[in-house]
Chains A and B, each alone.
Chain A
Amino acid sequence: MVLVLLPSLLATEAGGRNRFELDASSVGDALRALPVANLVLDERGVLRPLVNVYVDGVDARDRDGLDTSLTGAEEIRLVAAIAGG
Chain B
Amino acid sequence: MSVLVLVGTRKGLFLLESDGDRRDWSLAGPFLTGWAVFHAVIDPRDRALHAATNNDVYGATVHRSSDRGETWARAEELGLPEDTGLSLEKTWHVEPGRPGEDGRLWLGAAPGALFRTDDGGSTWQPVDGIVRHETRHRWHPGAGGMCCHSIALDPDEPARMYVGISAAGVFRSDDGGETFVPANRGTAADFLPDPSPELGQCVHKLLVHPARPERLWQQNHCGVYRSDDRGESWERLDGNGLPSGFGFPLALDHRDPDAAFVVPEESAENRLTPNRRLGVYRTRDLGGSWELLTEGLPEPAFGAVMREGFASDRLDPAGVYLGTQSGSLFVSPDAGETWLEAASQLPPILSVEASAWS
A interface with B by C-beta (< 8 Å): 8-10, 12-13, 36, 38-40, 42-44, 48, 50-51, 80-81, 83-84
Contacts and interface: CB of A to CB of B under 8 A. Distances in A.
Given A38-B61, A50-B57, 20 more contacts: A9-B55, A10-B58, A12-B33, A12-B34, A36-B58, A38-B74, A38-B76, A39-B55, A39-B61, A39-B74, A42-B59, A42-B87, A42-B88, A44-B79, A44-B87, A48-B57, A48-B59, A51-B57, A83-B57, A84-B55
A80 B58 CA distance: 9
Interface in B71-103: 74-76, 78-80, 82, 87-88
Interface residues of B, number: 17
A52 to B, nearest CB: 10
A36 B78 CA distance: 13
Nearest to A13: B74
B88 A43 contact: yes
B269 interface: no
Contacts of B82: 43-44
B56 interface: yes
A36 to B, nearest CB: 8
Nearest to B63: A13
Interface of B: 33-34, 55-59, 61, 74-76, 78-80, 82, 87-88
B61 A81 contact: no
A50 B80 CA distance: 20
Contacts, number: 49
Nearest to B32: A12
Find the residue from B57, B75, B87 having the highest chain A CB count within 10 A. Answer: B57
Given A43-B87, A44-B87, A38 B56 contact: no
Contacts of A50: 56-57
Given A9-B34, A12-B34, A13-B74, A43 B79 contact: yes
A69 to B, nearest CB: 26
B58 A9 contact: yes
Contacts of A39: 55, 58-59, 61, 74
Contacts of B76: 38
A42 B79 contact: yes
Contacts of A81: 57
Contacts of A51: 57-58
Given A13-B74, A43-B79, A83 B88 contact: no
A14 to B, nearest CB: 10
Find the residue from A9, A13, A39, A80 having the highest chain B CB count within 10 A. Answer: A13
22 contacts: A9-B55, A9-B58, A10-B58, A36-B58, A38-B76, A39-B59, A40-B58, A42-B79, A42-B87, A42-B88, A43-B80, A43-B87, A48-B57, A48-B58, A48-B59, A80-B58, A81-B57, A83-B56, A83-B57, A84-B55, A84-B56, A84-B57
B171 to A, nearest CB: 23
Nearest to A10: B58
Contacts of B34: 8-9, 12
Contacts of B33: 9, 12
A81 B57 CA distance: 7
A18 to B, nearest CB: 14
